């Protein structure tokens, strides 16, 4: 991840329009990732997990949950939040790289690929291929397809906000986004986009057999999710 994006996530930001938005966002993601955990004994890695407010839902569905985020301040918050949960460990990216070969049964990479260069994503997938056990599962979700417009993302957010009672806050938040660091960073660095064929090819090059999932993780169903297994 570029230094600009990492610095953005490592300090307070206004991606979530209010506490309600943040809470329902993380609850939905945790709920849907938990539903994909292959067994109660699985060792799970959520890579680029963000604040993971409801990671306890995922931990309840598996044997051990490893949370990894590149931003030091986010990791510190995670460590404090889940200090009393013996099933949850917080790791830095370099600690993930040192995990034993074939030691993970399920890896989730949600809403991360768009902030990585193609080379960075490929390197990360190579690491996952080494770490995932035979028969393990890799989830890569919230992939932005090339044809998806910013307007479609806005519409998805407003539908989510209307259902979850933060519509007025979402409208105000969208107005603030016009002047935000996120918008400036997006204009400077852009976000990576992958079509279905491109992502399947990227996964195959890293040693995975993948398929597009029936639905994305989270509220935006115009984005894509993929489930992959090591060859």
How many Cβ atoms from other residues are within 10 Å of residue 31's Cβ?
14
* 27 three-state secondary structure: helix
| pLDDT at residue 177 is higher than 90 | no
Provide φ and ψ at 204, rounded to 5°.
-65, -40
pLDDT at 185: 65
pLDDT at 101: 98
CB proximity list for 21: less than 8 A, separation 6 or greater: 161, 164, 166, 169, 170, 173
Sheet of strand 104-110: strand arrangement: 88-91, 64-68, 43-47, 104-110, 132-143, 224-230, 208-212
pLDDT at 168: 95
Minimum mean pLDDT among 5-9, 60-64, 85-89, 118-122: which range? 5-9
Tell me the pairing of strands 64-68 and 208-212: unpaired
CB proximity list for 221: less than 8 A, separation 6 or greater: 156, 215
The Cα–Cα gap between 121 and 13 comes to 24
How many Cβ atoms from other residues are within 10 Å of residue 3's Cβ?
9
Average pLDDT estimate for 182-208 = 86
| pLDDT at residue 198 is higher than 80 | yes
Task: Tell me the H-state helices in the chain.
Answer: 3-9, 19-34, 55-60, 72-81, 93-97, 118-131, 150-163, 167-177, 181-189, 196-205
113 half-sphere exposure, CB direction, 13 A CA radius: 25
CATH code: domain 18-148+190-230 is 3.40.50.150
pLDDT at 7: 82
Q: What is the pLDDT of residues 23-71, one digit of tens each?
A: 999 999 999 999 999 999 999 999 999 999 999 999 999 999 999 999 9
Burial of 148 from C-beta contacts in 10 A (0-12 / 13-18 / 19+): middle
The Cα–Cα gap between 188 and 65 comes to 35
User: What pTM did the predictor assign?
Assistant: 0.94
Q: What is the pLDDT of residues 124-136, one digit of tens each?
A: 999 999 999 999 9
pLDDT over 90, % of the chain:
83
Confidence category of residue 192, pLDDT binned at 50, 70, 90: very high
| CA Rg value for the chain | 17
Average pLDDT estimate for 143-160 = 93
**Annotated domain spans of the chain:** 18-148+190-230
Which secondary-structure segment (H or E) carries 67? strand 64-68
Q: How many residues does the chain have?
A: 231
pLDDT at 191: 85
Q: What is the pLDDT of residues 68-104, one digit of tens each?
A: 999 999 999 999 999 999 999 999 999 999 999 999 9
């Amino acid at each position: 991840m570029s230094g600009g994006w990492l610095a953005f996530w490592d300090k307070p930001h206004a991606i979530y329009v209010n506490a309600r938005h943040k809470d329902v966002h993380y609850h939905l993601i945790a709920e849907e990732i938990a539903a994909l955990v292959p067994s109660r004994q699985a060792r799970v890695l959520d890579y680029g997990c963000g604040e993971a407010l409801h990671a306890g839902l995922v931990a309840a569905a598996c044997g051990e949950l490893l949370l990894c985020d590149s931003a030091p301040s986010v990791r510190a918050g995670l460590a404090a939040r889940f200090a009393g949960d013996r099933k949850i460990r917080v790791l830095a990216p370099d600690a993930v790289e040192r995990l034993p070969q074939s030691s993970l049964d399920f890896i989730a990479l949600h809403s991360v690929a768009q902030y990585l260069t193609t080379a960075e994503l490929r390197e990360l997938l190579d690491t996952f291929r080494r770490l995932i056990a035979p028969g393990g599962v890799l989830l890569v979700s919230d992939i932005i397809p090339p044809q998806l417009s910013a307007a479609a993302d806005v519409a998805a957010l407003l539908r989510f906000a209307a259902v979850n009672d933060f519509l007025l806050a979402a409208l105000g938040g969208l107005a603030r986004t016009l002047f935000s660091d996120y918008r400036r960073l997006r204009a400077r660095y852009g976000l990576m986009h992958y079509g279905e064929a491109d992502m399947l090819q990227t996964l195959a090059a890293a040693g995975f057999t993948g398929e597009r999932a029936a639905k994305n993780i989270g509220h935006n169903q115009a984005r894509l999710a993929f489930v992959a297994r090591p060859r």
